Amino acid sequence: MSVSPIAPRTPTTRLHHGDEFVDHYEWLRDKDDADVQAHLENENAYTESSTAHLADLRENIFQEIKGRTRETDMSVPGRKGDWWYYRRIEEGQNYSRLCRVPLTSPDDWNP
């Protein structure tokens, strides 16, 4: 695929406080519409084919960033009331977890 897909312009007019606005791409908001899905699939295929030559570069950049990132890490704890709150992420996980531990003594921090 050498030519990028072009989304058809279908004008939708809205009136807000007496001002008229025309959005030619409002139809793309309907994620369940077959035409929207087909257009997005065409865009994705075009992007994949036009950037295929960058696959090695993408992988090298990813590995470099990953090599400089601590996969298991914890945020600085913050105290609120009788609790310590912090975020923790562990190797292999996509998202951090919000954690809390009870305050056992004013000077104590032990997650």
Tens of pLDDT, residues 53-69: 999 999 999 999 988 88
Give the count of beta carbons closer than 10 Å to the beta carbon of residue 99. 15
Please check whether residues 62 and 77 belong to one and the same domain: no
- Alpha-carbon distance 103 to 64, whole Å? 39
**Mean per-residue pLDDT for 28-56?**
96
Average pLDDT over residues 30-41: 97
The pLDDT-based confidence of 13 (bands split at 50, 70, 90) is very high
Q: Are residues 33 and 17 in the same domain?
A: yes
For residue 35, give its domain range: 12-67
**Gap between the Cα atoms of 32 and 59, Å rounded:** 33
Buried b (16+ CB within 10 A) or exposed e, 38-72: ebeeeeeeeeeeeeeeeeeeeeeeeeeeeeeeeee
- 19 lies in some domain: yes
Q: Is the dihedral of CA 96, 65, 92, 88 positive or negative?
A: negative
Element (H, E) at 56: helix 55-67
Q: Is residue 87 part of a domain?
A: yes
Mean pLDDT of 10-35: 96
Residue 26 has pLDDT above 70, yes or no: yes
| Amino acid 92: pLDDT | 85
pTM (predicted TM-score): 0.59
Query: How many domains does the structure of the chain reveal?
Result: 2
Residue 37 lies inside a defined structural domain of this protein = yes
Check whether residue 47 and residue 82 sit in a common domain.
Answer: no
Query: In the prediction, which pLDDT does 70 show?
Result: 81
